[in-house]
Amino acid sequence: MKSSKATIIFLAFLLIVSCETKEKKRIVFDSISDDVELDLDSQSDDMNVSSDYAHANGEIISVPFKNKHGIKTLDVAINGMKFEMIFDTGCSGALISISEARYLYAKGKITEDDFIGVAKSQIADGRIVENMVINLKEVIIADKILCEDVEATVSPNNNAPLLLGGEVLNRVAAYSVDNERKVINFKLR
């Protein structure tokens, strides 16, 4: 009963809240593991860089991927919870299923304050669907790349794959896939 009540609150609040403004989003890299020396004192005060991640303009960060039947997946932590997401250059945003959203909500990793509203989107077969939209405070890729305030669409399909698309990929200057080394190279703006 308690989990169904939480789900009802989750869905009701989502329908009420809407997003009216978009802020410029930033991406931060953990360059410590890549032996990059940075002068953190020269960083601007408005960056709010945590001690685990450092801002590294122009640096290239290599992230390993897994290849599952031709689909590249990355290890990702969403608000502290580990998942695998599909690296999807054809997806304009980030997508999680209602199952992951419920799980994050039950664990206290997303709250009512993270619900943005609903949005219409066109799926691969051309249909227009309406989905919930939430804010993911942190998406950390392979323990190296921190993306804050990632707007994610929540699919009502329990089995929808988790997609890492344009909402994150548009924050970097460039990315390239190295199939030989099985890494994706991200270059920070």
Summarize pLDDT for 127-143 with one digit per residue, the tens. Answer: 998 899 999 999 999 99
> Whole-angstrom Cα distance, residue 22 to residue 40?
28
179 pLDDT band, cuts 50/70/90, is: very high
Q: Is the pLDDT of residue 157 over 70?
A: yes
46 pLDDT band, cuts 50/70/90, is: very low
> Whole-angstrom Cα distance, residue 85 to residue 87?
6
b/e sequence 170-179, b meaning 16+ C-beta within 10 Å: ebbeebeeee
User: Which residue type sits at 38?
Assistant: L
Helices (H) and strands (E) in the chain, counts: 3, 12
pLDDT in the model for residue 53 = 55
pLDDT in the model for residue 124 = 79
Tell me the three state secondary structure of residue 177. Answer: strand
188 pLDDT band, cuts 50/70/90, is: confident
- The pLDDT mean for the chain works out to 78
Q: Is the pLDDT of residue 34 over 90?
A: no
pLDDT in the model for residue 39 = 33
Summarize pLDDT for 48-88 with one digit per residue, the tens. Answer: 334 455 456 788 999 999 999 999 999 999 999 999 999 99
The pTM assigned to this predicted structure is 0.72
Summarize pLDDT for 160-175 with one digit per residue, the tens. Answer: 999 999 999 999 999 9
pLDDT in the model for residue 55 = 54
Cβ atoms < 10 Å from Cβ of 146: 20
Contact assessment for residue 163 and residue 183, using Cβ atoms and an 8 Å cutoff: no
What are the tokens at 106? 């039950």
pLDDT in the model for residue 5 = 47
